[in-house]
Amino acid sequence: MFFFLIEWPNKINLNSILKPDIILKFKIKNNIREVTFYK
């Protein structure tokens, strides 16, 4: 199991980066309220 500590410097639309269903699964599986994406 791996966890992502994600913090958005600015409010970014996750929908434009990831699919909503993927985000929901990620949030539920890792119990994380906010998802951080590092490029």
Q: Could you give the CA distance from residue 4 to residue 18 in angstroms, rounded to a whole number?
A: 14
The CA-atom distances, in angstroms, between 16 and each of 2, 4, 7, 12 are: 23, 19, 17, 8
Q: Please answer whether residues 3 and 33 qualify as being in contact, where contact means their C-beta atoms are separated by less than 8 angstroms.
A: no
Domain boundary assignment for the chain:
1-39
pTM: 0.19
Q: Does residue 1 register a pLDDT over 50?
A: no
Split at pLDDT 50, 70, 90, the class of 39 is: very low
Give residue-wise pLDDT tens across range 6-34: 554 445 555 555 555 555 555 545 554 55
Q: Does residue 3 register a pLDDT over 50?
A: no
Place of tokens 């119990």: 31
